[in-house]
Structure 1
Amino acid sequence: MESRNKTRISEFLLLGFSGEPEIQPLIFGLFLSMYLITVFGNLLIILVVSLDPHLHTPMYFFLSNLSFVDICFIFTTIPKMLWNIQTQNKAITYEDCIIQMYFFILFVCLDDFLLTAMAYDRFVAICRPLHYTVIMNSRLCGLLVLVSWVMSALNSLLQSLMVFQLSFCTDLEIPHFFCEINQMVQLACSDTFFNDMLFYFAAGMFGFITLTGILYSYSKTVSSIGGISSAQGKYKAFSTCASHLSMVCLFYCTTLGVYLSSAATQISHSSATASVMYTVVTPMLNPFIYSLRNKDIKRALERIIEMAATKVQMFWG
């Protein structure tokens, strides 16, 4: 029975946000704009960090990695949604759905780990300033990123393989704009007990560990900032954490809000709408938060623009 169900499944239907044809061009334009802003904004951060030697520090190393992950994150979901709207075809093949789910889980976990690594970096910079260069050496930074990729990939692979073992019947409509794991599990005909346990165990373990690490780092950081005597010193110390803290609050609050609300209520299009906050809006705001509030990024961007203008003048000279 299970094998027969599996061979019969060839595709799912991504219902997206609304079935009304007159709204589809508006949705297409909105998400295409957010997609382009996210890609070009994060690419700009990667370019600036790579070209300016002043930004070759652990903080900006993690930031450039986060920007790369955010580009991959939004690339996992939005292009397929835009293609479906453009072609007026909501179908996604079974294999593509599993692949999309795999990469989605991978990049969500990577976001968690990288935000935690950045919190630890700020903790060391403020609480252990004299030992910062010794502790946050290039070997440790590379190791933190490598461990993040390995742990995220293993978790994503295990989750995807568990879903791959499920059998599906006739109801193959996913009320979402991408193949979200909870939605797929709920469509299964076979027993999903182990899938549910694995999902909540992984979410609890990774989410609890990363969030606890971030909260602990910032509790110590705030305590150290409070011990600084001058107001200028406090402001300078806090300003180095403000951008990252904004990203942490935005990412975790929206993610927890979506999954806690979906666990308490029936799955509907409102879940897809709420998911836009952490799947699209958060990666899009990352370049703005780090560039508008960060003097180092602004100065580096100005230097790059000046160098580019000088080379253009010399070329046309």
Structure 2
Amino acid sequence: MIVKNITSVSGFLLMGFSDNHELQILHALLFLVTYLFGSAGNFIIINITTLDPQLQSPMYYFLKHLSILDLSSLSVTIPQYIESSLAGSGYISYGQCMLQIFFFSAFTWGELAILTVMSYDRYVAVCLPLHYEVIMSPRKCRWVVTIVWLSSGVPGTLYIATIFSIRFCKAKKIHQFFCDVPQLLKLSCSNDYLVIMAVADFLAATGFACFIGIVISYV
């Protein structure tokens, strides 16, 4: 791995899984295969649910957007890791790191939100079948998906806004293969991380509430 004087530059050094370049190449190939299979599966779901007229119900409409979000979240982190592993350098600029945090947080939140919506859709289909067409009308489904996509930008925006207030006084080495908020907190000085911890706690509580809603609806 090409190690720069990482304390004097604006970027970070992603440590990944190994310092051995041969192992880095092996990891890159494994990630590439996983990424291609994951992308292919999501593309198939997106195409089928878009083109097949028999798969135009709300369940498949939500499934299509879940696949889009899943494909997007994979594309935020894995290609960059593959490129840096093959090049033998884990360096990532500050701007790239912030963009990675924003989009990864956004797409991950979007997946949780759409899963919550899908669980409600199944609840209505099973428990309120006579009212299903009214409750889950195409217009309402489009509005719900729009809200999911718009709300997905909230976590990323909160994280980025609070990260800008952090001063990094330690070696900028991130022991992860992508820019991860908990790893960034380890590089902060004194109590700079308290605000971002409050944001993380708020998002964790909201995510847990969505999880409880999913469990209750399926039960």
TM-score range, shorter chain: over 0.9
- Answer with 1 or 2: which has the greater Rg: 1
Aligned residues: 212
Aligned match of 2:174: 174
Taking the aligned partners of 1:203 and 1:159, their CA distance within structure 2 comes to 13
Q: Hey, which of these two has a bigger chunk of helix by percent?
A: 1
Aligned match of 1:202: 203
Instruction: Mark the runs of 5 or more structure 2 residues left unpaired by the alignment.
Output: 1-7
Taking the aligned partners of 2:193 and 2:125, their CA distance within structure 1 comes to 45
Instruction: Mark the runs of 5 or more structure 1 residues left unpaired by the alignment.
Output: 1-7, 220-317
Q: Is the 8 A contact 1:98 1:164 kept in 2?
A: no
Kindly state the Cα deviation for residue 130 of structure 1 after the two structures are TM-superposed: 1.6
Taking the aligned partners of 2:9 and 2:200, their CA distance within structure 1 comes to 23
Q: Is the 8 A contact 2:105 2:156 kept in 1?
A: yes
For the pair 1:101 / 2:74, whether they are aligned, the reply is no
Kindly state the Cα deviation for residue 9 of structure 1 after the two structures are TM-superposed: 4.4
Q: What amino acid maps onto 2:198 in structure 1?
A: M
Give the TM-score, by structure 1 length: 0.65
Task: Look up the SS of the partner of 1:178 in the other structure.
Answer: coil
Q: Is the 8 A contact 1:9 1:94 kept in 2?
A: no
Structural mapping, 1:182-201, within 5 Å: 182-190=182-190, 191-201=192-202
Give the TM-score, by structure 2 length: 0.93
Distance change >3 Å, CA 62–CA 82, structure 1 → 2: same
Taking the aligned partners of 2:170 and 2:47, their CA distance within structure 1 comes to 48
Taking the aligned partners of 1:40 and 1:52, their CA distance within structure 2 comes to 18
Q: Which runs of 4+ in 1 moved over 3 A?
A: none
Taking the aligned partners of 1:200 and 1:73, their CA distance within structure 2 comes to 22
Taking the aligned partners of 1:143 and 1:118, their CA distance within structure 2 comes to 14
Q: Is the 8 A contact 1:17 1:177 kept in 2?
A: yes
Kindly state the Cα deviation for residue 195 of structure 1 after the two structures are TM-superposed: 1.1
Q: Percent identity?
A: 39
Aligned match of 1:127: 127
Per-residue CA deviation, residues 39-88 of structure 1 (Å, 9 max, x unaligned), is 11101111011111100110000000000001100000001100001110
Q: What amino acid maps onto 2:156 in structure 1?
A: S
Taking the aligned partners of 1:20 and 1:114, their CA distance within structure 2 comes to 40
Q: What amino acid maps onto 1:42 in structure 2?
A: N
Per-residue CA deviation, residues 94-149 of structure 1 (Å, 9 max, x unaligned), is 11001100001001100100110110111111111121111111122112212212
Taking the aligned partners of 1:109 and 1:35, their CA distance within structure 2 comes to 20
